[in-house]
Amino acid sequence: MPELSDKRKRLVLVICCMSLFIVGVDVTIVNVALPSIQHSFHATVSDLQWTIDAYSLVIACLLMLSGSLADRFGRRRVFQIGLIIFSLGSLLCSVAPGLGWLVASRGLQAIGGSMLNPVALSIIFNTFTDHTSRARAMGVWGSVFGLSLALGPVLGGVLVSGIGWRAIFWINVPVGLTAIVLTGIFVPDRSPTGPPTRPPWSSAGDRGSGLSHLRHHRRSSTRVAFALDVGALRAQCGDLRGARASRVTS
């Protein structure tokens, strides 16, 4: 495939950062809306905890599997499927008639979100082939994730006080749909040229470690977000090791 122009590479980076931003925001934005959700559904505190845990636990569990699926079926395809599932989950969250439906929809959101972070990193890694530009792109990618975690409570406060708690999920839908269209236009479909070097079950230890972090820190939403960050970092390192092994064996 011919080398992409610098402008298109930047567009690919923006698209990947868009998906990363909405996934990161949803880790912390719900915290601000919990009192309103509790009032709407007359829920207990332990029930409310699952609106956060369902999202964090599912993402931590499926990160590596989603990366392996992208290796098998193509990064752009899995990335678009993840955006579709995440947008659908957000829409269902916004219209949930009860807490059980909200928790289930958060889990669906997380399934889509697990297809975005590791796959977006892989897309960036393969788009920016020069070491200097790749390092800059990785820096932007990481900064956007940190910014999304920090802006989640601020954005959530504005939306909950101005519109209502359902608005924190509405905003994901137009962003997700825009990213789906832009991905189909600008993200190259670079399908894998050979069998993946790491099967989905090869990183069970990493997934288990991430889940142990999440379970241990379940009562603190800030620690849950940090633990998710640790799990994502483990998954991303695994993707990079797999990509490096592919180059060595090719």
Measure Cα distances from 177 to 7, 15, 37, 58, 91 in Å: 22, 11, 26, 22, 11
pLDDT category at 199 given cuts 50, 70, 90 is: very low
Q: Residues 60-97: pLDDT tens digits?
A: 889 888 888 888 888 999 999 999 999 999 999 999 99
Higher pLDDT, 128 or 227: 128
Q: Residues 21-51: pLDDT tens digits?
A: 998 898 888 889 999 999 999 888 888 888 8
pLDDT category at 240 given cuts 50, 70, 90 is: very low
Q: What is the pLDDT of residue 73?
A: 87
- When pLDDT is averaged across residues 139-162 and rounded to a whole number, the result is 90
Instruction: Domains for the chain: give ranges and CATH numbers.
Output: 6-188+206-249 (1.20.1250.20)
* Residue at token pair 């599912």: 58
Report if pTM > 0.85: no
